[in-house]
Amino acid sequence: MPRRNTRCLVLTQSLNCWALVMVMALAAAVLFALPVAAQEEAAATLQFSAADADPAEDADTVRLYNEYISIIVNATDENTGRFAVQTTGGDPDRESDNESPLIYMIPGQVPWTSYATVRIDGIDYVFGGKATERAGRAGLTGEQLIAPRVVDGRLIETAYRLGPIDVTQNLSIIRSSTTGLLDTVRIEYRLVNRDERAHNVGFRLVLDTMLGSNDGAPFRVEESAITTDTAFFGDQIPEFWQAFDSLTDPRVTAQGTLRGSDVTTPDRVYFTNWGALADGVWDFDFEPGRDFTRLGEFELDSATALYWDPRPLLPGEERVYVTHYGLGGISISPGQLSIGVTSPSTVTADPDRTVTFPIIAYIQNTGEGDARDVVARLELPRGLRPAGGEALVRRLGNLPSGRTSQVTWRVALDGAVGGELTYTVRVEAINAESNAVSRSVRIVSPAALTITLHEKEGRLRVVDGEWQPVPYKVRARVENTGGADANSVVVSWESPLGLRLAEGDRSVKPIGPLYTGEALEVTWHIEPIRRPNPYFGNLPFSVKGEIAGVEREFRANGFLEIPSLDSELRIEPVRGESELRPGDYLLVRIAARNVRNFYGAEIEVRFDSSALELVGGPLGVDKGRVFVEEAEGQAKVLSWQTPQVVEGPDGTVMVRIRGQRAGASEPVLRLVSDTLATLRLKALKPGDHAIQFGRVRVYDQDGQEVRVMPAHGQVRVVQ
């Protein structure tokens, strides 16, 4: 397989490459014969039943998997973030698809053949780490923001900055639209413009499809089996495509979903050979009618490319691209005329519009001669009807031996709002036994979120002049109470007044898929806003939930009571680890706590001169931070008068402190809790020694007095 493994070409100098391939194939057979649990010695079982995540023993890849399917993401320094998809148990009714690749990856290597391109103002970037192989090597790369990681056992996240655009890749496991099982990968890319101007941004995703050992199976789209370069545009793009190697006994059935409530329908879809897409980072060698032989080589190698054409992305704007890829579900009835029928396993009812969906029948003549005058008939139950007057009977003419024909009907819900409906497809021919297959569709209500706050009305306490607890935890339980899975749920916290997130927390939290009946808890850490002014009282906040593809918004509202804080001037001795003894030195801070509209202060502090000594006289008083301003790395001293020290006839020392914020870039501090001055003292004798305020005046820029409460201090000196 020379196109896949350029390292194999290098090794030919010392080892025959074909021998190497045989060794790798043998290793693959041994590996794939083992169950996933045996491959991973210590796979951790997480709290969510949907998927497990590998431990960090294999630093080269990050895996998320369940009993049906596995996502493998490249975590090395090269081709970082590229992914592959493999089955684990696959279809529970078929052993032939166990441990089979759906996206190409050689056993023992890491993913690199599938990749994403972001076109920004005509310049092409490839998502992830530097490309070292053929696929996407011509594209530019960016800066890694988030290395591949499993988030809460629900998705694998990787993020890069490509020029002015931040791109996040999220891969999660969801339910297939046709199997009804958790055997499909939701592939999401979130693009955010971090620049101050708009950019023209487009996106392309290449999937290097593979069905077990078959690398060139036809793509089956509605009534066509595609085996040559083919493109679909706009309204031509189907709801989904499938690929399988045999209708009578398919080893693996793959499905790509291109339309749906959670899917971002591409502008263009191409089916072609992998080599062309590997070499062409955006534009590529496309030749309608050419088969899927790998460009420049001799093997069939099919791939698909999804394009979302460039359009302006405004500053701060986010754009999301989503597609689904995984296993497909087909109900099969073997016979002379073998039938395979597929359709969505669940359909979401909507009272505001007519809901339609496709039913596709694959009919293969497995007899020895031509089947003459083949007729396919769709039989619908009550609750379903043909959409747009479609005929339920289709005449297919003669069907040669071994040939497969495809028929698509589009049907609509006809009053059905819940429950399971079963339809039947019958096939007849003049010279062959008739055959029939039935398949069920479950009609469900839309996904819906119920958000419950653990504390709808919380309250902070005031302890020692400060709010507690800060930060305050907002905990919300988010449950999917609808009838359908929510394939992508995003929750966010917001407040219109007085509250903000604590540093390091983030408002918007993607939590990935939330299955019907599943619930989880999300936590935010919040705190009151202090500047320019704090707000007191019951301050509102909301937790909002959004489901991709659902217009309805889900919300829970709460309140956090913020009590008022007393404005104080405090005398705060700085306590050391050891007790004070005569002859020891100590620091005493004069601090403002929750003082509003602070501009300047005139303060008197007094103490017993026989018990405490101000070291250095006036030089023993240091200006506090409110009278110093940091500007361009330099400390700028504001208006500060040399303190006066006066000893009274009763042995009391009076220290007078004066300062203003004149000359500051922000002269008035709307709310300040900081140091006005620091006194350096020496303990002279044992006892409890008071340090008290005398006259205190705090004022604003207009000279108006600001009301504060003095809080005296005390120093304990032991013998």
Task: Check whether 407 has a pLDDT greater than 70.
Answer: yes
Instruction: Please enumerate in sequence order all residues whose Cβ is within 8 A of that of 246, keeping only pairs 6 or more positions apart, or say none.
Output: none
302 and 394 within one domain: no
* Mean pLDDT along residues 75-100: 91
Task: Check whether 49 has a pLDDT greater than 70.
Answer: no
* Total-model pTM: 0.78
Domain-located, residue 659:
yes
Q: What is the CATH number of the domain that holds 137?
A: 2.70.98
Token representation of residue 218? 């036809």
* Mean pLDDT along residues 388-393: 90
688 and 600 within one domain: yes
Do 627 and 599 form a contact (C-beta atoms < 8 A)?
Answer: no
Mean pLDDT is lowest, of 21-30, 550-559, 592-601, 668-677, for: 21-30
Mean of per-residue pLDDT scores for the chain: 88
Measured distance CA(29)–CA(107) in Å, rounded: 9
Query: Which of 583, 607, 616, 621 is CA-nearest to residue 717?
Result: 583
- Look at residue 530 in the predicted model and tell me its pLDDT: 82
Kindly report, residue by residue over 329-356, the tens digit of the pLDDT: 999 999 999 999 999 999 999 888 899 9
462 and 586 within one domain: no
Measured distance CA(695)–CA(653) in Å, rounded: 14
Return the percentage of the chain with pLDDT > 90, whole number: 75
Task: List strand residue ranges (DSSP E) for 163-280, in order.
Answer: 165-174, 184-193, 199-207, 219-221, 224-226, 230-233, 240-244, 253-257, 268-273
Query: How many C-beta atoms lie closer than 10 Å to residue 12's C-beta?
Result: 12
Domain enclosing residue 641, as ranges: 568-717
- Look at residue 272 in the predicted model and tell me its pLDDT: 95
Tokens 């998705």 correspond to what residue? Answer: 155
Strand partners, 270: 231, 305
* Mean pLDDT along residues 680-693: 96
249 and 343 within one domain: no
Collapsed DSSP state (helix, strand, coil) of residue 639: coil
Query: How many C-beta atoms lie closer than 10 Å to residue 650's C-beta?
Result: 7
Kindly report, residue by residue over 274-327, the tens digit of the pLDDT: 999 999 999 999 999 999 999 888 888 899 999 999 999 999 999 999 999 999
Collapsed DSSP state (helix, strand, coil) of residue 29: helix
Domain-located, residue 29:
no
- Look at residue 532 in the predicted model and tell me its pLDDT: 73
Measured distance CA(319)–CA(384) in Å, rounded: 36
Burial of 38 (0-12, 13-18, 19+ CB in 10 A): exposed
Structural domains in the chain (count): 4
Task: Check whether 701 has a pLDDT greater than 70.
Answer: yes
- The DSSP output letter for 14 is T
At 52, is the pLDDT very low, low, confident or very high (cuts 50, 70, 90)?
A: low
Task: List strand residue ranges (DSSP E) for 445-584, in order.
Answer: 449-453, 457-459, 461-463, 466-468, 472-480, 486-494, 499-501, 508-514, 519-528, 537-547, 554-562, 568-573
Domain-located, residue 27:
no
Higher pLDDT, 200 or 99: 200
488 and 583 within one domain: no
74 and 58 within one domain: yes
Task: Check whether 53 has a pLDDT greater than 80.
Answer: no
Q: What is the CATH number of the domain that holds 398?
A: 2.60.40.10
Domain-located, residue 18:
no
Examine residue 469 and say whether the peptide bond preceding it is cis (omega within 30 degrees of 0).
Answer: yes
Measured distance CA(611)–CA(79) in Å, rounded: 72
CA distances 168 to 112, 260, 514, 534, 541, Å, are: 18, 22, 20, 36, 28
Measured distance CA(542)–CA(530) in Å, rounded: 20
Measured distance CA(536)–CA(462) in Å, rounded: 12
Instruction: Go through the chain and tell me how many residues it has.
Output: 719
676 and 553 within one domain: no
Mean pLDDT is lowest, of 4-8, 402-406, 416-420, 454-458, for: 4-8
- The DSSP output letter for 132 is -
264 and 370 within one domain: no
Query: How many C-beta atoms lie closer than 10 Å to residue 422's C-beta?
Result: 12
Collapsed DSSP state (helix, strand, coil) of residue 86: strand
Do 398 and 383 form a contact (C-beta atoms < 8 A)?
Answer: no
- Look at residue 107 in the predicted model and tell me its pLDDT: 81
- Look at residue 44 in the predicted model and tell me its pLDDT: 26
Token representation of residue 307? 């394009």
Q: Which helix (H) or strand (E) holds 710?
A: strand 709-711
Domain-located, residue 137:
yes
Kindly report, residue by residue over 107-123, the tens digit of the pLDDT: 888 999 999 999 999 99
Domain-located, residue 7:
no
279 and 176 within one domain: yes
- Look at residue 156 in the predicted model and tell me its pLDDT: 96
Token representation of residue 472? 């305050």
* Residue 259, φ and ψ in degrees, nearest 5: -135, 155
- Look at residue 351 in the predicted model and tell me its pLDDT: 83
Domain-located, residue 356:
yes
Domain-located, residue 128:
yes
Alpha-carbon dihedral angle through residues 542, 546, 550, 556, given to the nearest 10 degrees: -30
Query: Which of 611, 614, 615 is CA-nearest to residue 686?
Result: 611
- Look at residue 58 in the predicted model and tell me its pLDDT: 60
Q: Amino acid letter at 47?
A: Q
Kindly report, residue by residue over 174-187, the tens digit of the pLDDT: 999 999 999 999 99
Last residue of a domain, one of 386, 419, 444: 444
Token representation of residue 353? 């519009």
Task: Check whether 34 has a pLDDT greater than 90.
Answer: no
319 and 182 within one domain: yes
Measured distance CA(704)–CA(24) in Å, rounded: 85
Do 111 and 72 form a contact (C-beta atoms < 8 A)?
Answer: yes
Task: Check whether 57 has a pLDDT greater than 90.
Answer: no
Measured distance CA(576)–CA(79) in Å, rounded: 55
* Residue 187, φ and ψ in degrees, nearest 5: -105, 115
681 and 693 within one domain: yes
279 and 209 within one domain: yes
Higher pLDDT, 72 or 260: 72
Q: What is the CATH number of the domain that holds 643?
A: 2.60.40.680
DSSP states of 357-386: EEEEEEEEE-SSSPEEEEEEEEE--TTEEE
Measured distance CA(188)–CA(493) in Å, rounded: 22
